[in-house]
Amino acid sequence: MTTPAEISVPKEAKNLPKEKFDELENFISSLETTKGALVQILHKAQHIFGYLPREVQLFIARRLGIPGAEVFGVVSFYSYFTTKPVGKHTISVCMGTACFVRKADNIIEGLKEKLGIEANETTKDGMFTLKDVRCIGACGLAPVVLVDEKVYGRVKEEEIDEIINEYRK
């Protein structure tokens, strides 16, 4: 179960680039009407910013003249939307049944330790986001790790460093 703390959106100190807001503004202005367009606008915003921080959600709320709570209600409803910045690379560990019986939990624990983050978090340097995902349909290769689009099959714990280092260069 998701607890409220997990879905809260932290206030960020860093300033988001103005050009990105301009790009979003241009998109919204190009729409014939903003009525019923919230989801579409959020998609665009996530594409531009990579995620939907508080400031972006409030920007959209003001622009559309609707409460911030309403925007957040929609953002929190759809699992596609993320309110946390995503790293340059996303490491997804398959936790489906086949991978699980082949010790995928050891793999993800090892990754958590090496990266110093929990699942669904991003490393401080912004390089990696770690995700536990449901079956990705490559059970023959279990346990499977995906880095962005690249598939690593029959992963062993001792290979974790090697995989990470490929992207750390």
Distance CA 166, CA 128 (A): 12
Of the candidate residues 42, 45, 71, 164, the single one contacting another protein (CB under 8 A): 71
Smallest gap from Cβ 131 to another protein, in A, equals 19
Of the candidate residues 77, 137, 161, 166, the single one contacting another protein (CB under 8 A): 77
Smallest gap from Cβ 39 to another protein, in A, equals 14
- For position 134 contacting another protein by CB under 8 A, the verdict is no
- For position 13 contacting another protein by CB under 8 A, the verdict is no
Smallest gap from Cβ 12 to another protein, in A, equals 11
Smallest gap from Cβ 11 to another protein, in A, equals 8
| Residues of this chain that bind another protein (CB under 8 A) | 1-5, 7-9, 54, 57-58, 61, 66-73, 76-77, 83
